Chains A and B, each alone.
Chain A
Amino acid sequence: MTATKKLVSLVIKNDLAELARVSELVEDIGQKHGVPAEALYAVNLALEEILANVISYGYADQGEHQIIVRFDVEAGDFVVEIEDDARPFNPLAAAAPKVEAPLAEKPLGGLGLHLTRTMMDGMAYRREREKNILTMRKKIAIDHKG
């Protein structure tokens, strides 16, 4: 069991309209902690891409599900954790799309995960208690070591 203290958490339903609540909270936390705009953009994008995937493709049934999103700001990182009871899916193991392909062959799928993996500074996935738990980190501290 993890007992990490989290700054704040939000429970959403598996409905794309819920994404607005997530981004509002990200903006709130960002403002409170002085998170740079580029880092906030990355966190917003990562949450949207992962949650939209879970909501659109994760569930075999049509029922209502709860997704827990936890937020923390620690050690110079903006940390977000998504916990869902959708089918097992490890976003780190998904194949990278051929982003250098010409227009006609450019993939429509997989771009969101590619953007997320590139824009986040750290991602960790585990399957626990029949849940997907994805932790993502984005650096927000200025690195003086250059």
Chain B
Amino acid sequence: MEITQTKHGDILVIGPKGKLDANTSKMFEDCLIPLIDQGHKKILADFAQLDYISSAGLRVLLLAARKLSEGGGKIALCSLKPSIKTVFDIAGFSTVFPIFATQQDAITDFTK
């Protein structure tokens, strides 16, 4: 899978494309976790190009959020498609992850 990485100041924006499923989530984990280990403290997962997520993808987000919170960091999400938002709601993730409509909204929140 393709995962884009861009920086906005000290915010690292991670954009997975396509599907985060039982096969591709390992790749997402291998990308995201080392970035946290390297010291990135503000991570924004931009899901504008993401069409699908299953529990395998949710697991990686949960691992990342826990690792970040242990080190005083934070992860936020933006641009979730409706079906993906439904999965977040059912899994109880919408209450623990800050979710923004647009990347700009998320960046504004990070920097305030």
The residues of A with any CB-CB pair to B shorter than 8 Å are: 16-17, 19-20, 23, 37-38, 41, 44-45, 48-49, 52, 99-104, 106, 108, 111-112, 114-115, 118-119
Q: Check B87 against A100 for contact (C-beta < 8 Å).
A: no
Interface size class of B (residues with CB under 8 A): 20 to 34
Q: Check A115 against B95 for contact (C-beta < 8 Å).
A: no
Q: Check B95 against A17 for contact (C-beta < 8 Å).
A: no
Q: Check A99 against B21 for contact (C-beta < 8 Å).
A: no
Chain A residues near B52 (CB-CB < 8 A): 41, 44-45
Chain A residues near B66 (CB-CB < 8 A): 103-104
* From B22, B58, B69, contact of A16 by CB (8 A): B22
In the complex, 19 of the A-B residue pairs with CB atoms within 8 angstroms, ordered by the A residue number, are: A16-B22, A19-B22, A38-B82, A44-B52, A45-B54, A45-B87, A48-B56, A49-B55, A52-B22, A52-B54, A99-B91, A100-B95, A103-B65, A103-B69, A104-B69, A106-B62, A108-B62, A111-B59, A112-B56
A112 to chain B, nearest CB (A): 4
